[in-house]
Amino acid sequence: MLPSSFACAEASIAGGADPFVRVLVYLVVILVAAKLGAELFERIGQPAVLGELVAGVILGNLVLVHGSWSFFQPLRAAVLTDHAAIGIDILAKIGIIILLFEVGLESSVKEMRRVGISSFLVAVIGVVLPFILGYFVSAIFITKVPAGILALSPNFSIQNIHMFIGATLCATSVGITARVFKDMARIQTPEARIVLGAAVIDDVLGLIILAIVSAVVSSAETGNELSVLQIVKLTVIAVGFLLGALIIGIYFIPNLMKVAAKFRTQGLMLITSILICFGLSALANEAGLASIVGAFAAGLILEEIHFREFDAKVGIRDLIQPISIVFVPIFFVLMGIQVHLESFFVPSVIGISGGLIVAAMIGKQACGLVVREKNIDRITVGIGMIPRGEVGLIFASIGKALGVIDNDIFSAVVIMVIVTAFVTPPLLKWSIARAERKREPEA
């Protein structure tokens, strides 16, 4: 029954069915698979995002089981040309924007001011060292431009690949760590505060690195090279954009919300927030930054106090959540679909995925060494920074879109994300218990 169903779906695509109808069919299958995968993984104590990723990997690689199960082939292409596939890709990108908007909403300007020197040092080491290690892992395992690379400019440099792979190792998926601390009722421990505080700075630094690396790659593709001065300029633009967004949040957003609150139109609180998110995302793109930088900045400046003029029974996070539940899983399932398992029959791909996993774990574990406070378990801090997640996948997807990461490398990055997210919860539980046993005699 299953083979015939996929064969019929494939025949429908080949027969030129209405792209809109095919988008609907894709959405039905993707969302069902996402929720089933999330449910299964949550039941075994793992993050839902891993279930969505694995569900996508299974869907995208069904063709390896049976040749007629090629329903998702248009979504696996290096360059999407099928109209329905492009439609799904657009919805996935909206999911990225919503996701980074949510990440920004979880942070605030006050929290960024409150984080101590230890959090800052942990964040800096947690970005710089993994970037360097990722660069060298790429340099070791990738000796020439892979055949699948899309950027065919004669000026394209292998260094661009190394930089982008290094960038994918920078960001920490603090949601996984926070979940473990919360489940163990240890969210108020010094280790948890340092890790969660570092995550705010980690996100900002990671997004700035993404902006710089993307600009370097784009310039190389067109035959130009960015000078040191231009890189400094881009860094200033990235930091200036975030500071400008904060200024807007302080002086403009409160007045805008007061005006919006006077309207009687239903849902204006949500609509206004979405408009700010999409508007800043577009402005970030115009400034030469990734649109997700703008989405993060929008979430950062929209604090609960700005919505006090609205007579709302729920907060903005609660209003955004239903939208996130629909759009964000599309991105993760699509990322899974684009993983080509056949790539892992290539020895070099196995090598680079293993190298990335080791670099990812060592790079973040070293964060704990720079904690300045006494009586802090540095191993717990380091383990808490290990998991990669949504932001790393976003980095990889942008690299794939730019043509600097091919299917093989992209698959290796996704496996690194899955492995680091898998191993962190049990390691963190062990480390927290070990630290508490160590403190008992002292107490």
Nearest to 341 by CA among 138, 55, 57: 57
Q: How confident is the model at residue 144 (pLDDT cuts 50, 70, 90)?
A: low
Decide if pLDDT at 148 tops 60: no
Determine the pLDDT at residue 429. Answer: 81
Select the more confidently predicted residue: 4 or 396: 396
Residue 150 lies in a domain: yes
Domain presence at residue 2: no
Q: What region, left, alpha or beta, does residue 383 occupy, with left being phi > 0 and alpha being psi -120 to 50 degrees? A: alpha
86 domain residue, yes or no = no
Q: Looking at residues 399-425, what average pLDDT do you find?
A: 80
25-73 pLDDT tens trace: 999 999 999 999 989 988 887 778 888 888 998 999 998 888 778 888 8
Report in angstroms the alpha-carbon separations of 64 from 69, 85, 323, 433: 8, 20, 33, 43
pLDDT band at residue 357 under the 50/70/90 scheme: very high
Is the pLDDT confidence value at 7 over 60? no
Measure the CA angle with vertex 306, ends 304 and 308; round to 5°: 80
pLDDT at 15: 44
pLDDT exceeding 70 applies to what percent of the chain?
82
> Across residues 212-217, what is the average pLDDT?
74
Q: Which amino acid is at 90?
A: I
Residue 390, pLDDT score: 65
- Examine the pLDDT at 154 and tell me if it is beyond 70: no
> What H or E segment, with its residue span, contains residue 162?
helix 158-168
Q: Taking the CA atoms of 205, 143, 350 and 58 in sequence, report the sign of the dihedral they define.
A: positive
Model pLDDT, residue 114: 60
Mean per-residue pLDDT over the chain, rounded: 79
**Which residue range forms the structural domain that includes residue 316?**
97-442
pLDDT in tens, 104-118: 787 666 665 665 788
Can you tell me the distance from the alpha carbon of 406 to that of 219, in angstroms, rounded to the nearest whole number? 18
Could you read off the pLDDT of 297-313 as tens digits, one per residue?
Answer: 888 888 777 777 787 67
pLDDT the model gives residue 152: 35
Reported pTM: 0.74
Per-residue pLDDT tens digits for 270-284: 898 999 999 998 988
Which secondary-structure segment (H or E) carries 298?
helix 291-301
End-to-end CA distance of the chain: 64
pLDDT at 151 over 50: no
Asked if residues 405 and 156 have their Cβ atoms less than 8 Å apart, the reply is no
Supply the pLDDT for residue 88: 93
Question: Could you report the per-residue pLDDT of 79-101, keeping only the tens digit for each?
Answer: 778 888 999 999 999 998 898 88
The candidate with the shortest Cα–Cα distance to 412, out of 211, 95, 210, 142, is 142
Whether 73 is in a domain gets the answer no
Number of domains in the chain: 1
Say if CB 174 and CB 196 are below 8 A apart.
yes
Asked if the model's pLDDT at residue 374 lies above 50, the reply is yes
CA 291 to chain centroid: 13
Higher-pLDDT residue of 379 and 46 is 379
> Which pLDDT value is given to residue 250?
77
User: What share of the chain has pLDDT > 90, as a percent?
Assistant: 13
Query: Which residue has tokens 């003029």?
Result: 309
Span 185-196, pLDDT tens digits:
777 778 887 887
If pLDDT is split at 50, 70 and 90, which confidence band does 179 have?
low
Mean pLDDT over 177-187 rounds to 70
Average the pLDDT over 252-267 and give the result. Answer: 83
pLDDT of 183 reads 65
Distances, alpha carbon 274 to alpha carbons 74, 101, 133, 239, 357, in Å: 30, 9, 38, 23, 36
Is the residue at 55 inside a domain?
A: no
Q: Is residue 77 part of a domain?
A: no
Q: How far apart are CA 137 and CA 166, in angstroms?
A: 8
41, part of any domain: no
**Cα–Cα distance measured from residue 384 to residue 242, given in angstroms and rounded to the nearest whole number:** 26
> What string of DSSP letters covers 198-264?
HHHHHHHHHHHHHHHHHHHHHHHHTT----HHHHHHHHHHHHHHHHHHHHHHHHTHHHHHHHHHT--
Position 155 pLDDT exceeds 50: no
With a CB cutoff of 8 Å and minimum separation 6, the contacts of 229 are none
Residues 339 and 76: their CA atoms lie apart, in Å, by: 8
What one-character-per-residue DSSP string does 117-173 give?
A: HHHHHHHHHHHHHHHHHHHHHHHHH--S--TT-----TT--HHHHHHHHHHHTT---
Looking at per-residue pLDDT, the higher value among 178 and 69 belongs to 69
* 62 or 285, greater pLDDT: 62
What is the 3-state secondary structure of 78-106? Answer: CCCCCHHHHHHHHHHHHHHHHHHHHHHHC
- Asked if residue 88 is part of any domain, the answer here is no
What CATH number does the domain containing 279 carry?
1.20.1530.20
